Amino acid sequence: MSILVLHGPNLNLLGQREPEIYGSSTLNDIDQALIQLSAELDAKIQPLQSNHEGSLVDAVQSAAKQHQGILINAAAYTHTSVALRDAIASVGLPAVEVHLSNIYKREDFRHHSYIAPVVVGQISGFGADSYTLGLRALVNHIRSQH
């Protein structure tokens, strides 16, 4: 089993960007934790971070040929990108949306997710653990479907 892990804009700055909101873990720390967990789950991950909406859309569109699911933190694109939402809906792969912070405890504009209606579920507010919880949930979901 292979899972595409997508990290959206500004997540490359984790560890230095607003640590009071996003914690002290770096993106590399998160990817390493996901690699370790994926091995325990007998799965593989392919992480990709991009600040560019089109690159994330391209990655989602290509995913169906090589992955069985998508773990995505669309970051700011969660609240703005119909294109990313449509790409996820189009490929037919199960996806889980994750966020480091609890987006519902933050500014009002962060309360709406264009991604949520087209994913299996959403996990937010657990810092870096949101990713590992999301990966575990996604792998379990995929296995339950087969």
Residue of 85, 81, 27 whose CA lies nearest to 53: 81
Q: DSSP label at 65?
A: T
Q: Is 86 annotated as a binding residue?
A: yes
Q: Which of 22, 77, 114, 131 is catalytic?
A: 22
**Is 12 marked as a binding-site residue?**
no
22 is catalytic: yes
The active-site residue out of 7, 67, 77, 99 is 99
99 given a catalytic annotation:
yes
Cβ 80 vs Cβ 104: under 8 Å: no
Sign of CA dihedral 112, 61, 70, 92: positive
Q: What is the DSSP letter of 138?
A: H
Residue 7, annotated as binding a ligand: no
Question: Catalytic residue positions?
Answer: 22, 99
Binding residues for substrate: 73, 79, 86, 100-101, 110
Binding residues: 73, 79, 86, 100-101, 110
